[in-house]
């Protein structure tokens, strides 16, 4: 179940992440690295500035996904490998919050994409030979697994960037 989609403006947000290229079958290889990002930040005395996220740069569901698992931070950082740093771009995003198990996100994503299509919205996305290259396509995990271990009760925000208005 997802909330009604809305459009919101967001400011730029620095982050620290680990990047990787995975398939749908090997997605856990990158997901399980998220605790490394939290451990790095804790070791540096840096508090997260928001919930963790998955950022999809390139999506080819049949082949490869280029993804980052990251944590927002207050200030731009330089971090050593295997970490990467970046900034989530400012702009207009279509958002919705999915309540339920993360394995149902594929349906919430399809619903969000269909809703935006009916509204005539244009994504900040380009078709490339490697797949869809997104300006910013996020899943933000709003539920802390330490506080709520039941995945069916998790809340996940989908936030997909629109093309900037002229």
Q: Which residues of the chain have pLDDT under 70?
A: 1, 165-166
Determine the Cα–Cα distance for residues 16 and 78; give it in Å rounded to an integer. Answer: 9
Residue 3 has a pLDDT of 81
Number of neighbours of residue 108 by Cβ within 10 angstroms: 21
The three-point CA angle 22-71-74 to 5° equals 150
Q: Contact at 8 Å (CB) between 64 and 58?
A: yes
Determine the Cα–Cα distance for residues 38 and 42; give it in Å rounded to an integer. Answer: 6
Looking at the DSSP bridge assignments, the partners of residue 14 are: 87
Residue 1 has a pLDDT of 65
Determine the Cα–Cα distance for residues 35 and 9; give it in Å rounded to an integer. Answer: 29
Q: Contact at 8 Å (CB) between 90 and 11?
A: yes
Residue 29: φ, ψ to 5°? -60, -35
Residue 153 has a pLDDT of 94
Q: Contact at 8 Å (CB) between 133 and 126?
A: yes
Helix (H, G, I), strand (E, B) or coil at 70: strand
pTM above 0.75, yes or no: yes
Residue 137: φ, ψ to 5°? -130, 115
Domain ranges of the chain: 6-161
Residue 145 has a pLDDT of 86
Residue 122 has a pLDDT of 96
Residue 112 has a pLDDT of 95
**Which DSSP letter does residue 2 get?**
B
User: Which CATH code, of 1.20.1260.10, 1.10.10.370, 3.20.80.10, 3.40.50.2000, is assigned to 6-161?
Assistant: 3.20.80.10
């Amino acid at each position: 179940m997802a909330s009604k989609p809305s459009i919101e403006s967001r400011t730029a947000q620095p982050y620290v992440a680990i990047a990787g290229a995975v398939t749908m079958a090997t997605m856990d290889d990158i997901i399980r690295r998220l605790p490394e990002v939290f451990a790095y930040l804790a070791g540096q005395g840096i508090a997260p500035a928001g919930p963790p996220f998955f950022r999809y740069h390139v999506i080819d569901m049949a082949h490869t996904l280029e993804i980052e698992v990251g944590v927002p931070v207050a200030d731009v950082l330089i971090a050593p490998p295997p970490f990467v740093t970046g900034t989530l771009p400012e702009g207009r995003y279509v958002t919705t919050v999915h309540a339920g198990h993360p394995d149902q996100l594929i349906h919430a994503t399809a619903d969000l994409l269909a809703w935006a299509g009916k509204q005539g919205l244009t994504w900040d996305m380009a078709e490339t030979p490697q797949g869809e290259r997104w300006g910013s396509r996020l899943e933000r995990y709003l539920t802390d697994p330490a506080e709520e271990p039941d995945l069916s009760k998790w809340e996940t925000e989908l936030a997909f960037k629109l093309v900037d208005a002229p």
